[in-house]
Structures are given as C-alpha cells and as structure tokens.
Amino acid sequence: MLFPGVFLPLHVFEPRYREMVADALQGDRLIGMTLLQPGWQADYEGRPPVYPIGCSGVVTHVELLSDGRYNLVLRGLDRFRIVAEDHTRSYRRAHVELLRDPPLDQAGRRELYHCRQRLESLIDAKGTGHASYRQPGMTDTDYVHAVAQYMELEPLEKQALLAIDTITCRAESLVDLVEMRQWMARAPHGGSRLAH
C-alpha cells in the first residue's frame, strides 16, 4: 500500500515488473500501486482483480542490480480511481482519474490538527514511539498518511482508509481504528469474547 506523501521501498524482481520499472524510468517515473482483491492467488500470473482506488508514486531513488532486478523508492503522490485498463503490456497499465482532497478551511485544518494530536497520544501510549511516523516539519496530512502506511494494519484496513474521500475523514477513521485496536489488545482474550 502507498499513501500520498509517504515513501515506500520496493524490491522488483518479476520480469513483468522489471519491464514496468524500465518503462517508467524512460518516461515520467510514475508507478501506480493498487491492492489485489481477495482470491488473487488463483490468477496471480494473469490479471487478478484489484481494488479501484490506489495511489501513484514517483520513483525517487533507483538501483539496477547486475541480474536485472531493481531496488527503488517510491514517494506517494496522488490517490486515483482506475477507470479503464490497458492490456497491451506484460504488466498492468491503467487510465485513472485523480482523487485530490479538497482544500481545508480553518475548521478543517483545526480538526485535522486535533486528529494528529490524538494519534500522537495513542502511539505514545502504546510505547512504540514515532520514529517511523514523525519527521521534523511533517505536515498533519503527511503524518496521518505515514501512520496509515507504516502502522501494522491489515491491508483491507489500509485500503478502506485510502478510499475515504477527505483527509479529515481519513484521519478520524484512522484514530477510531487505532483506538479500537488498542482496546482489543487490552481486553481479556484480545477482545475476542463479547458479553451477551
């Protein structure tokens, strides 16, 4: 999973994805990341269904290894929705519409700031620190996206967050998710039993 403003290291070894990277490096250096839908294992070598919402990333660092594999780093740019697929290459190509967050007014900026403060408090309380999440000068939006990407969440939870239309709603949902996970971790039997 990739979120806007967040870095993702990748090791590319499959021939079709080596071709994709080579083509991207000769062009705009953009690669789209999407999540495969459940059941993808049955058709992995083909084109199993993917979720329609993904995130584009620009290749910021690249290392071509002697055997043709790549180590690279993507920086997330924009959320997108797939509107059509191009099947002319060995790898997937898609026509997409960009899903940019609407500008925040003063109330929205304040709400996002409070969500960030709450996330920082929850992460501090968990005792995991902020090394992976917080960097000097990081904006509230980038912080929310970094937590969503780097925190140990299920892929479908991350996909659900990425699909949310606005950064404030994404931040609120992430706070709810982190609170729920921490509550479950503290509950007897990991929250697996509920009173009837």
Query: DSSP letter string over 13-43?
Result: -SHHHHHHHHHHHHTT-EEEE-PBPTTGGGG
- Total Cβ atoms within 10 A of residue 93: 14
Task: Identify the pLDDT of residue 194.
Answer: 45
Task: Identify the pLDDT of residue 128.
Answer: 52
Taking CA 110 as the corner, what is the angle to CA 109 and CA 112, rounded to the nearest 5 degrees? 65
CA distance 77 to 92: 19
3-class SS of residue 110: helix
CA distance 22 to 16: 10
Cβ proximity of 113 and 72 under 8 Å: no
What's the rounded mean pLDDT across residues 181-196? Answer: 63
CA distance 184 to 17: 39
CA distance 102 to 112: 13
Domain 7-98 has CATH 2.60.260.40: no
Of residues 149, 126, 117, 190, the one with CA closest to residue 35: 149
pLDDT of 154 over the 60 cut: yes
pLDDT in tens, 104-151: 999 999 999 999 999 999 888 665 554 556 667 889 999 999 999 999
The domain segmentation of the chain, as residue ranges, is 7-98, 106-189
Strands (E), the chain: 7-12, 30-33, 53-64, 70-86, 93-98
Which pTM was predicted? 0.86
Task: Identify the pLDDT of residue 193.
Answer: 45
- The rounded mean pLDDT for the chain is 88
